[in-house]
Amino acid sequence: LLVYAIIGFMLFFVMRALGEILLSNLEYRSFADFAGDYLGPWAQFFTGWTYWLCWIVTGIADVVAVSGYVSFWYPELALWIPALGLIGVLLLLNLPNVRNFGEIEFWFALIKIVAIVALILAGAYMLITNFTLPNGTQASVTHLWANGGFFPNGFFGFVAGFQIAVFAFVGIELVGTAAAETENPTRNLPKAINSIPIRVVLFYVGALFVIITVIPWDQVDPNSSPFVAMFSLAGLGIAAHVVNFVVLTSATSSANSGIYSTSRMIYGLATSRLAPQTLGKLNSRKVPVNALFFSCIFLLAGVVLLYAGQSIIEAFTIVTTISALLFIFIWSIILASYLQYRRKRPDLHE
């Protein structure tokens, strides 16, 4: 709980920095653009390709995750089938046009929001009514600091939680870059960024709060989803299937966002002569189709990982750790660019 709050607090300032720079020059379409202006051409090249790699690694993690979610319903199905199926779906979703992407992401987001809000409401009701678990444990706010408090596994256990927390916030920078491309960025960009604390408190801290207050952390089964446990306790008999559907759509949404952003990033690099020119071609619908296929090819690494490791969990842990480290680098570049922006253009800051 504390780890998610800390990461969310820090990223709010990263997003404020991102938003201010984007508003200072509405010609900027990504942080690679202003990184090149304030840190030098090397930064644009390095940031652009690193961000592409960030989302490719995240996409690989999503391919691995989707295979695991599908195997929940079809355990006998070969893992490579849903993995390749996801890559095919991503191509179908991104080839038509940009409007298609926005509409699909709206429905994906709605599914996640409804599930989390339902979880919070159910958990809050169970907490208020002093719900009692089958083992006799009663829901209570004291679970937050009981049984070891905020550091039950020591300081290093606390630090270890940052990896998965950082991965949970992957893609938050898209809020800024997407708002900057709207018809009225001067209104929509500040609105989008200033809403981040509310989203963090509600969807991250809020969800974890109700889970921990109802089910003590030392009674959470590491082999099953706490979401499933909460909905099951609330009386939803098909909780496992509902939650599996939600996380399946969530992983698909993440991969879809990744492929969309990487194809645009590669297209931008190609037009700036920082990537092969053939990747800068658009089809009749203004979709960077070559960049799209280029990115999707690398997702096949997820299929390899499914069979290279000992388990799906091991493969997922490897790629999420790499992704978290890469995104920390990208967020650091945004802050470094902001410091240079403040030094070189104090008039714009005022």
User: What are the sequence ranges of the domains in the chain?
Assistant: 2-349
Residue 350 has pLDDT above 60, yes or no: no
Strands (E), 32-80: none
166 vs 11, 40, 144, 231, CA distance in Å? 10, 27, 21, 26
- Residues with Cβ within 8 Å of residue 119, at least 6 apart in sequence: 207, 210, 211, 227, 230, 231
pLDDT digits (tens, 9 = 90+) for 54-76: 888 888 888 888 888 898 889 89
- pLDDT confidence of residue 224: 64
For residue 289, what are the CA distances in angstroms to 100, 143, 258? Answer: 15, 51, 15
| pLDDT surpassing 70 at residue 249 | yes
- Highest CATH level, class, for 2-349: mainly alpha
Helices (H), 184-238: 185-194, 196-199, 207-214, 226-233
Mean pLDDT of the 288-296 span: 90
Q: Which residue has the tokens 């759509």?
A: 249
- Whether the per-residue pLDDT at 328 is higher than 60: the answer is yes
- What pLDDT sits at residue 180? 59
**Considering only CA atoms, which of 296, 294, 257 is closest in space to residue 91?**
296
Percent of the chain with pLDDT over 70: 88
pLDDT (0 to 100) of residue 310: 61
pTM higher than the cut 0.95: no
The dihedral formed by the CA atoms of 126, 131, 135 and 137, expressed in degrees to the nearest 10: 100
Q: Which residue has the higher pLDDT, 170 or 335?
A: 335
Segment 100-118 shows an average pLDDT of: 82
Among the residue ranges 23-37, 174-188, 263-277, the one predicted with the least confidence is 174-188
**Integer Cα distance of 104 and 257 in angstroms:** 10
